[in-house]
Amino acid sequence: MTTLAEVCSVVERLWPISGAEPWDAAGLLAGDPEAMVDSILLAVDAVPDVADEAVSSATDLLLVHHPLLLRGVTTIAEDRFKGAVLSRLVRGGCALLAAHSNADVVETGTSAELAYRIGIVDASPIVPATAAGRGIGRVGRLAEPTTLGRLARRLGDLLPATASGIRVSGEFDRPIETVALCGGAGDSLLDEPAVRSADVYITSDLRHHPASAFREDAKLGGGPALIDVSHWASEWLWLETAADELRAELPGVTITVSELRTDPWDFAIVQ
């Protein structure tokens, strides 16, 4: 039998909390460290539908990427989604743990997995951490150069479908060899030299003003094209890698990945 405390120790080895950003709230969010864990469900987001999936399948631990309590919380009333999630999990005997920015920076983290799936070789962090090979984002070159349009279509085939799809800033036939990327929201890296010198930057949640300024600066002085993908989809790819790593460390525990789509958008009107 495996305790929740033992699972937390494995999570710490795989994704050390020392790698988390200062603003982050990763770690054990709910649960008794002495409770037994026979099954773990992995998901990107702790939302009520995922909590229901965990409880209905008698899961002992829900391990998510995005911390439920990242922002200040003054109530866990059940007419708010955070309170509803915590209440359902606690009543169902399911613990909650988050591996967020500490899972982004490792060699097999969210951005590294996306880079691997795209076919990037010689990848290195955009912003290196103290530990060699670790850091935020990834930059490298494609094993076979392509065009911006073909790369965007490759992403469309690779990522789970979402209403927002794949948004691109740049010419369809633009040659692409060097790729910078950041799983999840990455407009904070737009001014990094490794991003500026790439042929394309792939990330999520690009806001109008930063993306517009970046595009216009690139027209004047040169710079990469932009590809904006779903935040949820870009990080969902990592879950299966995380599950495999947990299976190797916890052979007696059943580990599954949620197939529920927690991207917030339901449909789009193409004009």
The CATH number of residue 154's host domain is 3.40.1390.30
CA atoms of 55 and 49, how far apart (whole Å) = 10
Whether 92 and 127 map to the same domain: the answer is no
Whether 90 and 24 map to the same domain: the answer is yes
Whether 169 and 91 map to the same domain: the answer is no
Question: How confident is the model over 102-145, as pLDDT tens digits?
Answer: 999 999 999 999 999 999 999 999 999 999 999 999 999 999 99
Alpha carbon distances (Å) from 140 to 27, 179, 191: 31, 6, 17
- The answer to whether residue 23 sits within a structural domain is yes
Q: Which three-class secondary structure state does DSSP give residue 3?
A: strand
Whether 206 and 175 map to the same domain: the answer is yes
Q: What is the mean pLDDT of residues 197-208?
A: 97
- The answer to whether residue 144 sits within a structural domain is yes
The band of 8, judged by pLDDT with boundaries at 50, 70 and 90, is: very high
Domain coverage including residue 115? 105-234
Q: What is the mean pLDDT of residues 214-236?
A: 96
Number of neighbours of residue 191 by Cβ within 10 angstroms = 11
Tell whether the model's pLDDT for residue 74 goes beyond 90: no
CA atoms of 266 and 250, how far apart (whole Å) = 36
Whether 193 and 110 map to the same domain: the answer is yes
Question: How confident is the model over 159-196, as pLDDT tens digits?
Answer: 999 999 999 999 999 999 999 999 999 999 999 999 99
Tell whether the model's pLDDT for residue 250 goes beyond 90: yes
Task: State how many domains the chain has.
Answer: 2
Whether 91 and 110 map to the same domain: the answer is no
Whether 81 and 170 map to the same domain: the answer is no
The domain boundary, picked from 46, 70, 103, lies at 103
The domain boundary, picked from 42, 69, 103, lies at 103
Task: List phi, psi (to 5°) of 202.
Answer: -110, 125
Q: CB of 15 within 8 A of CB of 99?
A: yes
Whether 86 and 157 map to the same domain: the answer is no
- The answer to whether residue 246 sits within a structural domain is no
Q: What is the pLDDT of residue 108?
A: 97
Tell whether the model's pLDDT for residue 71 goes beyond 90: no
Tell whether the model's pLDDT for residue 47 goes beyond 90: yes
- The answer to whether residue 59 sits within a structural domain is yes
Q: What is the mean pLDDT of residues 253-259?
A: 98
The band of 72, judged by pLDDT with boundaries at 50, 70 and 90, is: confident
Q: What is the mean pLDDT of residues 146-158?
A: 98
Q: What is the pLDDT of residue 73?
A: 85
Q: What is the pLDDT of residue 271?
A: 87
The band of 10, judged by pLDDT with boundaries at 50, 70 and 90, is: very high
